Amino acid sequence: MTISKLACKTIPTSHHYGRRTAKVCKITPHHMAGNLTIEGCGAVFQNREASSNYGIGTDGRIACYVDEDYGAWTSSSYWNDNQAITIEVANSQAGGDWPVSDAAWKSLVNLCADICKRYGFRLSYTGDRGGSLTEHRMFDATACPGPYLHARMAQLAKEVNAVLDGGSTGGLDINGKWDATTKKAIQGDLAAQGYYGGGIDGDFGYWSWKAVQEKLADEGQYSGFNIDGDGGYYTICAWQLNTACTGVFTSKITGAMDETFVKALQRLHNEGRL
């Protein structure tokens, strides 16, 4: 069983080709041709003779419908779906150029980067089925993934490869402010490392703190404490201790998101070290 840690839920369907016979070496983003939630899309796949490995909602949440070890019924091509992980993305608006939300786009970038990392390939968009980033329209008379995503396939490959190269797409001001911009950047880092599956929205709540705690636990800095999503004194002390190991944070361990600590986090984010 192989499911990305970025998925916040699984809604399994029996609609798939069975176990893959090819190694995963492609990703195929689709659009839902509607603004379905991940639950709504999962419900469709219970009935309609269709499926995808993942779905992404306009809120940025990710669901798994078909385990990565199985080929999904998505792209009208066994050849493609036997070697591709397929992702249905909700449209934030029906019609027009069928756009997707910024949150969905970020989750798409993070999910693609996570898949590429785990299977050891980069994204290349060649405009035909030879690339590692393919589209439904290459295999059938369909507009899928819609004009908006179709126009951004090369951009998607670029952003995903930048994540793989450890680059950040925009640096933070080192201002020590624990503001929405900084919180979003840290959520993005946690998502890229597979700890966080929620929206990149700057709302640093239960899931964000849980991701911090899990990362700290993996790095040996949070043993003996509960993974409870509570961003309180002990969690922040552990985070400060962990950050002190980098040499970037040299102030007192206060257990609070104070200015010097936030500055250290901003610096580490910009350096791709968070």
Chain positions contacting Zn ion, by CB under 5 A: 30, 136, 144
Can you read off the two tokens belonging to residue 259? 């200015």
CB 273 within 8 A of CB 167: no
Q: Which residues contact 56 (CB under 8 A, 6 or more apart)?
A: 38, 62, 87, 88, 89, 90, 100, 104, 107, 108, 111
Angle (CA) 70-17-139 rounded to 5° is 100
> Measured from the CB of residue 171, what is the shortest distance to Zn ion in angstroms?
36
Q: Which residues contact 234 (CB under 8 A, 6 or more apart)?
A: 225, 255
> Measured from the CB of residue 136, what is the shortest distance to Zn ion in angstroms?
3
Nearer to Zn ion, 2 or 142 (CB): 142
> Measured from the CB of residue 150, what is the shortest distance to Zn ion in angstroms?
11
> Measured from the CB of residue 140, what is the shortest distance to Zn ion in angstroms?
8
Nearer to Zn ion, 144 or 192 (CB): 144
> Measured from the CB of residue 91, what is the shortest distance to Zn ion in angstroms?
12
Nearer to Zn ion, 6 or 144 (CB): 144
Nearer to Zn ion, 73 or 196 (CB): 73
Closest to 55 in 3D by CA, of 119, 100, 118, 25:
100
Residue entry with tokens 């930048």: 162
Nearer to Zn ion, 138 or 186 (CB): 138
Residues in the chain: 274
